[in-house]
Amino acid sequence: MSPETPMPNASLNSPAAISPATETAYLHGEIPLTRAMGMEVAAWDGRTVTLTAPLAPNQNHSDTAFGGAISSLGIMAGYCLVHLLLEERRISNRLLIQKSSIDYLRPVDADMTATACLPEEAVLAEFLDLLLRKRRARLALHTQVLCRRMLAATHTGLYVAMLY
């Protein structure tokens, strides 16, 4: 494809808003674990996404959240952030997580919230440019998982986007 030929579905200048309810329905349909966990997209403002998950379906034998559920919520916040970014710009994509690391800071004994924010504009522009030129790009994201409005875990993920 020549540089002057636009990529299909790659409108970067006119993002189409996607509601939290629409993204939640997408997740529940495409990633069944999100439905089983009761995960929902609570907010999306174009830069920050917030996911929630109740304690009950994610509870372990100690009446706290299972570590895998906390990790999954952190991973999915980053995944949603990249998915929303690309979908709103009409860039058809496939997403994978390449690396994942989580630090558990305190027990989660109530409903959980995870928040991920887009990186600074220069990093984001480089990611989008590379994706459109090379059809693949990586983006490192940091997520905070909170319980009772206190930081309970931090997640770092390296997400791979591929044009589809």
Question: Which sequence spans correspond to the domains of the chain?
Answer: 20-163
pLDDT of residue 9: 42
Distances from the Cα of 20 to the Cα of 27, 28, 50, 76, 123, angstroms: 10, 12, 9, 14, 25
User: For the chain, what percent of residues have pLDDT higher than 90?
Assistant: 89
> Is 130 exposed, middle or buried, given 0-12, 13-18 or 19+ CB atoms closer than 10 A?
middle
Cross-strand pairs, 145? 114, 153
pLDDT digits (tens, 9 = 90+) for 67-125: 999 999 999 999 999 999 999 999 999 999 999 999 999 999 999 999 999 999 999 99
Region of poorest pLDDT, from 3-7, 88-92, 114-118, 154-158: 3-7
38-59: average pLDDT: 97
Would you identify the CATH topology of the domain 20-163? Thiol Ester Dehydrase; Chain A (3.10.129)
Specify the pLDDT at position 4. 37
Q: Which residues contact 60 (CB under 8 A, 6 or more apart)?
A: 66, 67
Predicted pLDDT of residue 13: 47
pLDDT of residue 12: 46
Structure tokens at 53: 């998950």
What pLDDT is recorded for position 15?
Answer: 65
What average pLDDT does the segment 144-148 reach? 98
Closest CA to 87 of 8, 1, 4, 18: 18
Residue spans of beta strands (DSSP E) within 54-149: 93-104, 112-117, 136-147
